[in-house]
Amino acid sequence: MEVVVKAENLKKYFPIKLGFFRTLFSKEELYVRAVDDVSFDIRKGEIFGLAGESGSGKTTTGRLLLRLIEPTGGKVHFRDKEITSIKDDEMKILRREMQIIFQDPYESLNPRMTVGDITSEPLRLLEKEMTPSDMDERVLQILEDVELTPPKEFVLRYPHELSGGQRQRVAVARAFVVNPTFIVADEPVSMLDVSIRAEILRLMMTLVDKYQASFLYITHDLALSRHMCDRLAIMYLGKIMERGDTEQVIFEPLHPYTKALIDAVPVPDPTAKRAETVIKGEIPSPVNPPSGCRFHTRCPQYIGDICRTKEPELIDVGNNHYVSCHLYGKEK
Amino acid sequence: MKAAEGVSFQLEKGEAMGLAGESGCGKTTVALSLLKILPQNGRVVNGKIVIAGTDIVPLSESEMRKNIRWKVISMVFQGAMNAMNPLYRVGDQIVEAIKMHEPEVHRKEAKERTAKLLEMVGIDPSRTDNYPHEFSGGMKQRALIAMSLACNPVVVLADEPGTALDVIVQAQVLRLMKELKDRLNLSMIMIAHDLSMIAEVCQKIAIMYAGYLVEYGDIVKIFKKPLHPYTTDLIESFPSIKAAKQEMVSIPGFPPDLLSPPPGCRFHPRCKYAMDICRKEVPILRENSPNHFAACHLVKD
């Protein structure tokens, strides 16, 4: 299948501002290594999941792909173009093909704009040659697509007149209105009540299918990503630990971190037995990530010095399943 | 506005009950009533709250503070990140809780107890003099749990103890709560919108909808054979990571406005099985089988 977006050795380091005296007297420069050498690709019409704990760099990765922030190193390819080095006006043309859906629909919609204004804004900014009547028609159609019916009534409403679920539908409509090729959804349902999550997710799946878009789904909820994504990448401290088809990653996890993460997900069944491998501690600071394998400080399958000293590479173990761990790869 | 109405449940010693429902269904109101810390404009209109043999509804504020809160019933507040005062050391905040409710305890003794409490929840006692910002999210949640146990309560209320934590840390916290409950023979009420978290810790579950208890009882029975359509939908809307891939279910519509709730059963506008009687008559909570109650016209017999 056609690759639409490709991340190649993507890196983003955020410098830490030191106090006045420390900048005077010390030469050290500290960085938060939010994303550190990440590569993957997303195909046409595919939902690609990026999962991990908070601070693992998943949101930063999403923003890098859209070039909302500039990478420290590495490249992003969009279709056949390398977009990390192109000029802003060239980027602006590409923007109509890339959209983002934010986490919190209570913050991401302008309270002073009507639903109609919110959904038509991308058209006004990006589709300069579109006539107002075409725009109206497109807005009504996309509102119909996101099941805000009757659309004519919703066009005039303000965000405060909508429920959380309806707001997120507006955010979805705003993203899809320009018929984009690539969409990043950053935890799109984590602020919503469980009873309405499923319908928003289903809606996004339908739209991805309908518009044949590529979709990056950023989440910390593995149970949901399993139902949503075609492929899944697990991130830890700025690195991809494991990547593969969703069913493979969830049911045959290879990396000890993936295993621990899956075991930790609570199961809605009071008779289910919890696996006993709950790992200790919390995610270390990305300022000074552990040497070697970044997970070695918490790893239940630590195999010795190699984990502490040598950084494992993301290797192919067959069937498009990649893992970055010293436990694997030797047998090859 | 009637935030919670006709809610009755019973909790034995050493038992954990989950209180579940969508946002705005009255879970937190019930919890705050149990401690009598409702906001200024809220009050318990009628009903009884009997904890360890005492009805606390007629008690005055000072009696509550002196004899009930923290000594009999305590609370782990929601939002581990913000529930502690950032200007005081973690240890001192726990010492303060002890001194507040047991003024006769000497400061030195309170400090020793604090160290023991922190150790019990898995925090090294050397960290007592740290400020909250020096603690990670999971440690703050642990410290709050330690604080709730400061005066050896009989009942602990935990409001969304696992939310806002990462899965791995959340699993650690849930395990800790389960261990403490068994070790100290605590009764626990866990408020959560996440049924899977309740399934991990609790033996009983109470499901609320728009201020009413719709189903209540033994958790295994309810998960296996839910009686109320709302419970069924709620359970099905939780995807399981382990079970077979199934169609994701959601409940159409949204909870009613409690200022003008629908007549009859409050769930009827969203219910697939709504009948005529559902629009007219409020169903009462009745025992369908031992330790399994439901309030629905469908389960009359």
- B93: which strand partners? none
Task: Say if the ipTM goes beyond 0.90.
Answer: no
| Contact map slice: B 129-168 vs A, CB within 8 A | 136-139, 162, 166-168
Contact residues, chain A, for B23 at CB < 8 Å = 193
Minimal Cα–Cα distance from A155 to chain B, Å? 19
Q: How far is CA B219 from CA A91, A271, B167, B235, in A?
A: 55, 9, 22, 12
Give the E-state strand segments of B115-245 in sequence order: 155-159, 187-191, 204-209, 212-218
- In tens, the pLDDT along A266-320 reads 888 888 877 666 677 788 888 888 999 999 999 988 888 999 999 999 999 988 8
| Contact map slice: A 112-151 vs B, CB within 8 A | none
Minimal Cα–Cα distance from B103 to chain A, Å? 36
Q: What is the pLDDT of residue A275?
A: 65
Residue pair A91/A247 in contact by the 8 Å Cβ criterion: no
Q: Does A173 touch chain B (CB under 8 A)?
A: no
Task: Of B13-17, B37-41, B79-83, give the range with the top mean pLDDT.
Answer: B13-17
Interface contact flag, B172 A261, Cβ < 8 Å: no
Residue pair A49/A187 in contact by the 8 Å Cβ criterion: no
Between B67 and A28, the higher pLDDT residue:
B67
Q: How far apart are CA A287 and CA A300, in angstroms?
A: 23
Q: What is the pLDDT of residue A51?
A: 94
Strand duo A47-51 + A231-236: pairing: parallel
pLDDT of A143 strictly over 80: yes
N residues, chain A: 332
pLDDT of A332 strictly over 50: no
- In tens, the pLDDT along A86-113 reads 998 889 888 889 999 998 898 899 999 9
Interface contact flag, B199 A266, Cβ < 8 Å: yes
pTM (2 decimals)?
0.87
Contact residues, chain B, for A285 at CB < 8 Å = none
- In tens, the pLDDT along B91-128 reads 999 999 999 888 899 999 999 999 999 999 999 999 99
Q: Does A268 touch chain B (CB under 8 A)?
A: yes
Strand duo B50-51 + B54-55: pairing: antiparallel
